[in-house]
Amino acid sequence: MAQEHRDQPETQPESHGETQPDGQFETQPEAQAVAFGAGSDHDFRFEIPYYTQPEHDDDDDGASTASLKASILDYRRENGRTYHRFSDGHYVLPNDDLEQERLDIANHMWTVVWDGQLCLCPKKNGAKRVLDLGTGTGIWALDYADEHPTATVIGVDLSPIQPEYVPPNCQFEIDDLEKEWAWPEKFDFVFSRNMIGCFNDWEWIAKQAFENLEPGGYFEIHDNLYPVACDDGTLTEDHALYKWSSLLCEAIARMGRSLTITSEFEGILQRVGFENVTVTKQKMPASPWPEDPRLQEIGSWVQASLLPGIEGMAMALLTRVMGWKPAEVIIFGSQVRQDVKNLGVHAYWYGYSVYGRKPASKKEVPKEILRGKPNESLQVDSPKRENLKRKSPHPESPK
């Protein structure tokens, strides 16, 4: 049985299987990159080629561009799922169609959690230049761009999974956010969602956000707090859902990252130099088990986002890090799914919004906050990335 493997030794095989090329808010006071077009159901769409041509006709540069495109699109295929190739292995969730559908469901889940708001900081209105970290399918960036047509929105991800059409004020770039940020213009709003477990050093990420914001700009994070919780004993250590949550936390920790860091974001933002840091929490049931109608609705969407993603969230972590076999992950996932469907199991997470403001006067980041310092031994030197900058879309090119 899969559960028998939860205490595997800390060896980390490269891979297993076939591998191919209550209802109220609780609030406390307050480089150049490869770019891809994206889109959603907007009145006007602009088709953008995945890669722009070089600004000159150098044959060698053209060959380099083609090679870079091919390497990024050559997804890692492993255990029936696909994963990003750019900065291979940095992100442990898949990027295939099933995962993209889950991400879009999760986007709606978060809008329900926050009463239809895309963000809670003052930049819900009036932002001019916005950066979305780990944009995924690009749905948040597209929604924000649609609601704020005068804002320029840039979404960044490791995978080119965004749609091929964008409104004129939205663009997407392929880049690794754990490398030095090099945007030539500063932003007035930086946003991050569902990125716990993705970075080795959140303090460094917050520092990069701070340095790339204009004075008076905001950085906002939306994420869940792991592990899964329960107040009435209906979820025990014997439940597969509890084990699944705990195993994900353990595997991520072995990688030098954390799923339990969400409650620390307030302190991280304050240490980096943000002011008026505000934390808002909302209970997010794992299913529609609560009697409260609002919590029922939230729980329905949490359940809808969990059910198709249980195996995908666990497969790479349990096989690469914990030494499980793919079939064991699938069997275990079916057991977890039964707990998520069981309304007698009163499990929940807390969803957090944490945001802070960069002071209007110039303020330096404390010098002791250095890149990679808490996880120095875990940093791996990578060759200098090759990046391409996307040209602006032409209004003459509607769909």
Q: For the segment 49-104, what is each residue's pLDDT rounded down to a tens digit?
A: 222 223 444 455 455 445 556 677 777 788 888 887 767 767 888 888 899 999 99
- Residue 238, token pair as written in the block: 């014997």
Q: Report the pLDDT value the prediction gives residue 375, as an integer from 0 to 100.
A: 40
Identify the burial level of 135 via C-beta atoms within 10 angstroms of its C-beta, where 0-12 means exposed, 13-18 middle and 19 or more buried: buried
Under a CB-based contact definition with an 8 Å cutoff, are residues 61 and 134 in contact?
no
The three-state secondary structure class of 225 is: strand
Whether the link from the prior residue into 149 is cis, omega within 30° of 0, is no
Of the segments 44-48, 122-126, 225-229, which one has the largest average pLDDT value?
A: 225-229
Q: Work out the number of other CB atoms within 10 angstroms of the CB of residue 171.
A: 26
pLDDT for 48 beyond 80: no
pLDDT at 164: 84
What is the mean pLDDT of the segment spanning 122-134? Answer: 96
Long-range contacts of 64-68 (CB under 8 A, 24+ apart): 64/386, 65/388, 68/34, 68/386, 68/388
Q: Is residue 254 scored above 80 in pLDDT?
A: yes
Residue 364 has pLDDT above 90, yes or no: no
165 confidence band (pLDDT: 50, 70, 90): confident
pLDDT of 250 > 90? The answer is: yes
pLDDT class of 19 with cuts at 50, 70, 90? very low
Tell me the percentage of the chain whose pLDDT exceeds 70.
Answer: 72
Average pLDDT over residues 344-358: 99
Mean pLDDT of 375-393: 34
pLDDT greater than 80 at residue 111? yes
Q: What pTM was computed for the model?
A: 0.75
Res. 396: pLDDT tops 90 = no
Q: What is the pLDDT of residue 159?
A: 85
Q: Nearest-5° angle of CA 135, CA 138, CA 139? A: 120
More confident position, 236 or 85: 236
pLDDT at residue 353, as a whole number = 99
Read off the pLDDT band of 113 (50, 70, 90).
Answer: very high
More confident residue, 158 or 43: 158
Domain definitions of the chain by residue range: 23-228+260-288+353-378
Give residue 84's pLDDT. 77
pLDDT at residue 41 tops 60: no
> Can you give the pLDDT at residue 73?
72
* Residue whose pair of structure tokens reads 């609780």 in the numeric block: 26
Q: Residue range 363-392: average pLDDT?
A: 40
Which of 229-233, 331-335, 376-380 shows the lowest mean pLDDT across its residues?
376-380
The predicted structure's pLDDT at residue 121: 98
Q: Give residue 44's pLDDT band: very low, low, confident or very high (50, 70, 90).
A: very low
Mean pLDDT confidence for 141-161? 94
pLDDT of 72 reads 72
Report the mean per-residue pLDDT for the chain: 80
Give residue 215's pLDDT: 98
Burial of residue 293, with CB atoms counted within 10 A of its CB: 0-12 exposed, 13-18 middle, 19 or more buried: exposed
How many other C-beta atoms can be found within 10 angstroms of the C-beta atom of residue 42? 17
β-strand partners of 230: 347
Compute the C-alpha angle 237/243/248, nearest 5°.
140
pLDDT at 380: 30
Instruction: Check if CATH label 3.40.50.150 holds for domain 23-228+260-288+353-378.
Output: yes
Q: Percentage of the chain surpassing pLDDT 90?
A: 63
